[in-house]
């Protein structure tokens, strides 16, 4: 038995379906779709986009396909940027011994734009030609991408046959129906053109670009009259989404999670959480799911929602989890509840009481391995300067954060506060960055616990396609790293070396990842060729420098610094999927520039 087969057998032995059972389909005559995930088994179960779509396809009798998963197995061998299977056995899915490259459709979810190169690795691992132009319909799988890492889909335009925008519960089944029908009735219309007519699906090969020197486009237009000028993301009602969209459909017996809310009630200028309509899962769906976790003795529950405090039934849900925790404790077992970041302006005494009554609770990123932490609350002020907070549309004013910290002090159950801040944003001044250190110091003083800890998590400002900030300039990531060092030095100076070491941490993402995000989050379709060049050259993309990236860009006629600038041209690379109001963008940029000028 191969190593790969042994690992898959172990995976299947420990997996537990949590959602309602369904009758397995007879795969004869149906399409085979495989979701490729660049993660190990435990984390792949938390990828609820592909996991819920897999569940939907397999339980829907009217969708002519079966769906499988292929993950980054532990036994895979890394050689530079590439992954291979041990002893050259075919890369296969968890559910089928057939090679992945024999699938009809491949699904790839990209969470972060700085990780677009993982698509090349997965396609190579599966033995599938990377570029759309090199794949033969009916011989090679159709490759479909999705998720927030493709907010600007253009860098992978030559590699993905289609990109699902928004929620794919309707667009993906329709795509599968068209592909299935096209297998037996080729007709006069090419497959890609048929798919491009479906709402919510962007088919890059059906659009032509006029490129600008150094980066960007002067025009992008449909290649056929039947192809739409623009593609809208699909966001569905709660009734249109099945339960696996809100609750992890499979667990490995150790952890499982749920999504009580989708979207956000607020619309901040730098964030895309507020783009879809805000929706809430039915309480009985979530409490029934918790009951199923209890029946399977799953002791870790992840509430994966950055806006959980907006859930109208949060108290009832937390009480239901607490009752489970109490029953488990009576049996000598501990239930841990992990909650995503929350808004300081939505923290109440009632919420903290409900959370702390859970017993063992913490923040989603508990891999921080904090010693002696009773509980972790994460708050995202984003900026220390009040007027900068207001300009970017945040509602978390300082007095609201102070009130939240006062509640944490009174609860006596929270001794660690993680603060998220953004650095390098337009409108920001040096004094604003130093104020972050003062802010962190004030929070610990207000928290009042002798063993209190404050973690400052710094994020470089990255304009996100689809938001008011999408055209704004950004700082060079190497400079943003210096900003982080300055903030840490200022905080150490404020509190002294010993107190800093015991009670504070300043963390930020590495510059290499940020350099890739700079060019991948707003690049045109030439950017994918740059990634392919670097990938083939064996460049370590987790440690790439600006000089390495700049040299690779130059070979393709692109300029790194051009991607940092304010993008004031009328047509953006992601023009086909862009629906942001240009007048609102100009007004937003002008207000930030005016503030910055008042130095």
φ, ψ dihedrals at 475, nearest 5°: -75, 150
pLDDT at 522: 95
Span 435-446, mean pLDDT? 96
pLDDT in tens, 139-157: 999 999 999 999 999 999 9
- pLDDT > 70? residue 342: no
The mean per-residue pLDDT over the stretch 549-568 comes to 97
What are the φ/ψ torsions at residue 247 (nearest 5 degrees)? -130, 130
Rounded percentage of the chain residues whose pLDDT exceeds 90:
76
132, pLDDT greater than 90: yes
Specify the pLDDT at position 410.
81
Q: Is the pLDDT of residue 368 over 50?
A: no
Compute the distance between CA of residue 386 and CA of residue 399 in angstroms, rounded to an integer: 10
According to DSSP, the residues that pair with 416 across neighbouring strands are: 376, 453
Q: What is the pLDDT of residue 93?
A: 98
- pLDDT for 359: 46
The answer to which of 17-21, 94-98, 343-347, 566-570 has the lowest mean pLDDT is 343-347
Does residue 440 carry a pLDDT above 70? yes
H helices present in 253-340, as ranges: 283-295, 314-330
How far is Cα 530 from Cα 558, in angstroms, rounded to an integer?
9
Phi-psi region of 459 (alpha: psi -120 to 50; beta: other; left: phi over 0): beta
Per-residue pLDDT band at 86 (split at 50, 70, 90) = very high
Secondary-structure breakdown of the chain: helix, strand, coil percentages, each rounded to the nearest 5: 40, 20, 40
Q: Which CATH number fits domain 253-341: 3.40.1620.10, 3.40.50.300, 3.30.750.210, 3.30.230.70?
A: 3.30.750.210
- Which stretches of 383-489 are assigned E, i.e. beta strand? 416-423, 453-460
CB 277 within 8 A of CB 243: no
pLDDT band of 362, cuts 50, 70, 90: very low
Q: Is the pLDDT of residue 292 over 60?
A: yes
What pLDDT does residue 272 have?
Answer: 80
Is 80 exceeded by the pLDDT of residue 12? yes
Residue 399 has pLDDT above 50, yes or no: yes
Q: How many residues does the chain have?
A: 599
How confident is the model over 259-267, as a mean pLDDT? 88
Q: Is the dihedral of CA 453, 513, 342, 290 positive or negative?
A: negative
What pLDDT does 343 receive?
61
Mean pLDDT along residues 275-304: 94
Q: Which residues contact 255 (CB under 8 A, 6 or more apart)?
A: 42, 45, 298, 300, 301, 302
pLDDT at 13 over 50: yes
Task: State mean pLDDT over 253-273.
Answer: 88
Three-class SS state of 87 = helix
According to CATH, the topology of domain 3-222 is: Rossmann fold (3.40.50)
Q: Give me the pLDDT at residue 575, please.
A: 97
Residues 366 and 360: their CA atoms lie apart, in Å, by 12
- How do beta strands 453-460 and 504-508 pair? parallel
The answer to whether residue 374 scores a pLDDT higher than 60 is no
Q: Is the pLDDT of residue 442 over 90?
A: yes
Contacts of residue 372, Cβ cutoff 8 Å, sequence gap at least 6: 415, 451
**What pLDDT does residue 416 have?**
85
pLDDT of residue 307: 77
Q: Categorize the per-residue pLDDT at 451 as very low, low, confident or very high, splitting at 50, 70 and 90.
A: confident
Q: Return the axis-axis angle of helices 527-536 and 511-520, rounded to nearest 10°.
A: 140
Residue 499's Cβ-count burial label (10 Å; 0-12, 13-18, 19+) is: middle
Which residues, 6 or more positions from 152, have their beta carbon under 8 angstroms from its beta carbon? 113, 465, 520, 521, 522, 523, 573, 574
* Average pLDDT of the residues of the chain: 91
Please list, residue by residue across 42-51, b when 16 or more beta carbons sit within 10 angstroms of its beta carbon and e when fewer do.
eebbebbbbb
Statement: residue 361 has pLDDT above 50: no
Closest CA to 120 of 95, 75, 96, 156: 156
- β-strand pairing of 162-164 with 201-202: antiparallel
Average pLDDT over residues 80-94: 95
pLDDT of residue 414: 76
pLDDT at 367: 33
Per mean pLDDT, which range of 161-165, 352-356, 498-502 is the poorest? 352-356
Reading phi first (left if > 0) and then psi (alpha if -120 to 50, else beta), residue 309 is in alpha
Q: What mean pLDDT comes out for the span 348-358?
A: 56
Count of CA atoms in the C-beta half-sphere (13 A) of 382: 23
pLDDT reported for residue 357: 46
Mean pLDDT throughout 586-599? 88
pLDDT tens string 192-216: 999 999 999 999 999 999 999 999 9
CA-closest candidate to residue 386, choices 372, 399, 377: 399
The set of residues, in sequence order, having a beta carbon less than 8 Å from that of 269 and lying 6+ positions away, is: 391, 392, 393, 467, 468, 469, 588
Determine the pLDDT at residue 188.
Answer: 78
Per the listing, tokens 């007004």 go with 587
Structure tokens at 269: 């200028």
Helices marked H in 462-597 — which ranges?
Answer: 477-495, 497-503, 511-520, 527-536, 546-555, 582-597
354 pLDDT band, cuts 50/70/90, is low
Residue with tokens 């400052």: 456
The DSSP result for 115-130, as a single string, is: GTTHHHHHHHHHT--S
Enumerate the domain spans of the chain: 3-222, 253-341
């Amino acid at each position: 038995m191969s190593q790969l087969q042994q690992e898959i057998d172990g995976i299947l032995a420990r997996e537990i379906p949590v959602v309602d059972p369904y009758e397995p389909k007879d795969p004869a005559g149906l399409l085979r779709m495989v979701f490729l995930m660049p993660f190990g088994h435990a984390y792949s179960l938390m990828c609820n986009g592909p996991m819920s779509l897999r569940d939907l396809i397999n339980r829907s009798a009217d969708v002519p396909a079966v769906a499988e998963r292929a993950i980054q197995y532990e036994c895979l061998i890394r050689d530079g940027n590439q992954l291979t299977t041990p002893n050259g056995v075919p890369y296969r899915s968890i559910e089928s011994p057939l090679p992945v490259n024999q699938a009809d459709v491949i699904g790839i979810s990209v969470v972060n734009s700085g990780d677009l190169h993982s698509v090349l690795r997965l396609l190579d691992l599966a033995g599938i030609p990377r570029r759309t132009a090199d794949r033969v319909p009916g011989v090679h799988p159709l490759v479909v991408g999705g998720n927030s890492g493709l907010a600007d889909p253009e860098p992978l335009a030559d590699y993905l046959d289609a990109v699902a925008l928004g929620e794919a519960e309707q667009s993906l089944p329709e795509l599968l129906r068209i592909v299935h029908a096209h297998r037996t009735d080729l007709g006069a219309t090419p497959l890609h053109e048929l798919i491009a007519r479906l709402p919510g699906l962007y088919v890059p090969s059906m659009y032509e670009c006029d490129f600008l020197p150094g980066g960007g486009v002067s025009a992008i237009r449909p290649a056929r009259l039947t192809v739409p000028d623009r593609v809208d993301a699909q966001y569905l009602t709660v009734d249109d989404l099945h339960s696996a969209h809100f609750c992890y459909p499979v667990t490995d017996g150790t952890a499982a999670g749920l999504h009580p809310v989708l979207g956000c009630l607020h619309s901040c200028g730098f964030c895309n959480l507020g783009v879809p309509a805000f929706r809430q899962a039915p309480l009985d769906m979530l409490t029934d799911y918790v009951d199923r976790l209890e029946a399977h003795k799953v002791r870790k529950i992840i509430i994966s929602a950055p806006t959980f405090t907006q859930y109208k039934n949060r108290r009832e849900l937390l009480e239901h989890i607490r009752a489970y925790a109490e029953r488990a404790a009576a049996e000598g077992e501990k239930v841990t509840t992990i909650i995503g970041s929350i808004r300081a302006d939505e923290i109440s005494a009632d919420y903290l009481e409900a959370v702390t009554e859970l017993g063992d609770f913490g923040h989603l990123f508990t891999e921080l391995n904090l010693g002696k932490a009773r509980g972790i609350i994460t708050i995202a002020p984003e900026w220390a300067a009040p007027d900068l907070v207001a300009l970017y549309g945040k509602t978390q004013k300082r007095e609201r954060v102070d009130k939240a910290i006062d509640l944490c002090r009174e609860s006596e159950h929270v001794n660690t506060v993680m603060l998220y801040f953004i650095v390098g944003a337009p409108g920001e001044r040096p004094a604003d960055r130093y104020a972050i250190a003062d802010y962190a110091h004030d929070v610990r003083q207000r928290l009042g616990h002798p063993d209190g800890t404050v973690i400052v998590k710094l994020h470089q400002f990255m304009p996100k396609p689809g938001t008011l900030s999408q055209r704004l300039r950004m700082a060079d990531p190497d400079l943003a790293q210096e900003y982080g060092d300055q903030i840490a030095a200022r905080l150490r100076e404020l509190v002294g070396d010993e107190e800093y070491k015991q009670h504070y941490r300043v963390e930020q993402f590495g510059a290499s990842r940020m350099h890739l995000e700079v060019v991948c989050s707003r690049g045109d379709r030439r950017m994918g060729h740059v990634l392919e060049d670097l990938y083939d050259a064996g460049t370590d993309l987790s440690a790439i420098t600006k000089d390495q990236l700049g040299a690779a860009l130059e070979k393709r006629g692109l300029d790194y610094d051009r991607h940092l600038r304010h993008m004031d041209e009328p047509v953006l690379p992601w023009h086909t999927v862009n629906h942001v109001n240009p007048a609102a963008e100009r007004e937003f940029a002008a207000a930030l520039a005016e503030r910055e000028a008042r130095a």
